[in-house]
Amino acid sequence: MVGVWTMDDLLTRVHRALAAEYPGAPNGRVRELPDRRAVRWYTTTGLVDRPSGMRGRNAVYGRRHLLQIVAVKRRQAEGRSLAEIQAELAGATDDELSAVARVPESLLNGTPSAVDAAPARPRFWAATPAALPPPAPPAPLVSAQPAPAAPELSTGLRELGGIALGGGAILVLPTRPGESDLEAIADAAQPLLTLLAARGLLIDGSPA
């Protein structure tokens, strides 16, 4: 059965496919095993297709995405640049990708298994609360003067969300974006990253 996987499931299969025969990156600028940011960058540059669809707020991927990512990493391990890899693999058929990626069939088919899935998070809201210790007796008063009031905290503080766009560029937002927001932001950020790279404002041009 053809698999439909989340980003985490996809990366687990990529890492397993590369574990069998992967000499690693030829230099320090190429990440040996891809992460979420690398996959989004490959999608932005056309090396990897856009997600197959959405499952709630999570993007889902299939076997072609797995073939594309593994093929890219195998070519990088041979010392190829991203530009050379894009010229070869952009628009390649599944058979052509399979010949380069050499992904075991067991990783290409099936839905995520219990081994592939990340450990389930504990349902803390359903757990029985632990018994609280008895309260300590009140401390004796040492002064008749009222205790000074605690300073009020500013209500203007809020948690910010940051997104690494590549090359050291970071987008700061007033809230944390969801998975679908990240995909849209990656597409919209490409012209800005191109401009920053042309002006020498990125750390290393583009992420691996």
Query: What distance in Å separates the CA atoms of residue 104 and residue 112, rounded to the nearest whole number?
Result: 15
Predicted pLDDT of residue 169: 74
- Distance, in Å, from the CA atom of 185 to the CA atom of 182, rounded to the nearest integer, reads 5
- CB-based contacts of 18: which residues, under 8 Å, 6+ apart? 33, 70, 73, 74
Mean pLDDT by 10 residues, the chain (208 residues): 81 91 55 86 93 91 95 94 92 94 88 42 52 67 54 53 72 76 77 72 59
- Predicted local distance difference test score (pLDDT) of residue 114: 35
In the numeric block, which tokens belong to residue 104?
């075991």
Q: How far apart are CA 48 and CA 74, in angstroms?
A: 14
Contact 43, 100 (CB under 8 A): no
Structural domain boundaries of the chain? 7-108, 161-198
Give the model's pLDDT for residue 29: 46
- CA-based nearest residue to 38, from 48, 51, 26, 25: 48
Q: What is the pTM of this model?
A: 0.52
Looking at residue 4, what is its pLDDT? 85
Alpha helices (H) along 112-178: none
At residue 113, the pLDDT reads 42
Which amino acid type is present at position 110?
Answer: G
Which pLDDT score is estimated for 19? 87
pLDDT at 43: 93
pLDDT score of 168:
73
Q: What is the Cα Rg of the chain in Å?
A: 24
pLDDT on residue 173: 74
31, two tokens: 């990440």
Residue 120 has a pLDDT of 41
The pLDDT score that the predictor gives to residue 40 is 93
pLDDT of residue 195: 72
DSSP 8-state assignment for residue 116: T
What's the CA gap between 89 and 75, in Å, rounded?
10
Residue 164, SS3 per DSSP: strand
Give the Cα separation of 166 and 141 in Å (integer).
59
Quote the DSSP letter at residue 54. E
pLDDT value at residue 88: 94
The reported pLDDT for the residue numbered 13 is 95
Tokens at 29, concatenated: 């600028």
